[in-house]
Amino acid sequence: MGRAVVITGGTGGIGLHSAIGLARAGARVVVTGRSRERGEQALERIRAESGSQDVALVLGDLSDRAGVAALGDAILAEQPRIDILVHNAGMMAQERTVNSDGHELDFAVNVVAPHALTHHLLPALTQAPSRVLVVTGGKPSGPFDPSDLQSEKSFVPLVNYTMTKRAAEAMSIGLAEELQGRDVDVVVVYPGRASTAMTQAMTPSSLPWYLRPAWPVFRVLVPKDDGGKSAALAARSTVFAALSKSLAGRSWSYIDTHSQPGTLHPTVHEAGNRAIVMRALSPGATSATAR
């Protein structure tokens, strides 16, 4: 196939299985992660399971703007032309933390980083028509209320994570507008539930109080460890969204967990909500200045 793919957070979970699927399809795959050890292990596994040797690792941390810029430079050095960029790295913090830019950490990694990294990588993305995937999560059909965008009023891990994913969807629409005329399409993709490091780190306190009694049900839906089985299934929609010719030339699309075109909640598409998110993404903006 000869296409070059960069997958953030390709060292474990859904990202690793997306990397395996895309390497199997013949793409050159560059994965990013924070740990060399995890990264080298991932490369070995991608090579073994895909049969492809054309894989590379770039190390970097997406939790603040300086980290995004450093990772962006390292990616450009490794891969000067990118056909498909997959913003897969994501997190669900179990307690509220604010980074050096003044951003809540889930917001930083799930929303600020994909926006900033896309812009940093534009020299590589505009060498030829390209595609940027934004991996969403939480309940993708749910409503978006950006009134407490960085959970300053109250912090519940799953609620905050879900809101940052809605914000990432709104950001993706704003990003597609910013990229009009550049031949860079944006696709939001929902992988579906999987047992991964992120979901395994959840406890009953990750849920809002009214859902805590349902914790045993949640654990059955997302088992403690299934050896990557559910992550491999979840990665299928990312692989589809990365490769599908049917999405070529569409400025913005959404692909659901069944690899079908879907619809996001109307509140994600509301211009006012999008404007709040895009203001929060302008360099120098913190939660307070975004309002």
Ligand X SMILES: NC(=O)c1ccc[n+]([C@@H]2O[C@H](COP(=O)([O-])OP(=O)(O)OC[C@H]3O[C@@H](n4cnc5c(N)ncnc54)[C@H](OP(=O)(O)O)[C@@H]3O)[C@@H](O)[C@H]2O)c1
Shortest distance, CB of residue 51 to ligand X, whole angstroms?
22
Do residues 33 and 13 lie in contact, with contact meaning Cβ atoms separated by under 8 Å?
A: no
Closest to 163 in 3D by CA, of 182, 149, 178, 177: 149
User: Residue 32's beta-bridge partner residues?
Assistant: 58
| Of 196 and 253, CB closest to ligand X | 196
Shortest distance, CB of residue 128 to ligand X, whole angstroms?
26
Shortest distance, CB of residue 271 to ligand X, whole angstroms?
25
| Of 64 and 83, CB closest to ligand X | 64
Cα separation of 38 and 40, whole Å? 6
Do residues 239 and 29 lie in contact, with contact meaning Cβ atoms separated by under 8 Å?
A: no
| Of 180 and 225, CB closest to ligand X | 225
| Of 114 and 146, CB closest to ligand X | 114
CA distances from 64 to 69, 114, 237, 263 (A): 9, 11, 28, 30
Q: Is 255 left (phi over 0), alpha (psi -120 to 50) or beta?
A: beta
| Of 8 and 253, CB closest to ligand X | 8
Residues 161, 190, 210, 254: which is the catalytic one?
Answer: 161
CA distances from 104 to 9, 140, 170 (A): 19, 21, 17
Residues that bind ligand X (CB under 6 A): 9, 11-15, 33-35, 38, 61-63, 88-91, 109, 135, 137, 191, 193-194, 196-199, 231
| Of 91 and 255, CB closest to ligand X | 91
Do residues 18 and 86 lie in contact, with contact meaning Cβ atoms separated by under 8 Å?
A: yes
User: Residue 30's beta-bridge partner residues?
Assistant: 6, 56
161 counts as catalytic = yes
Q: Which residues belong to the active site?
A: 161
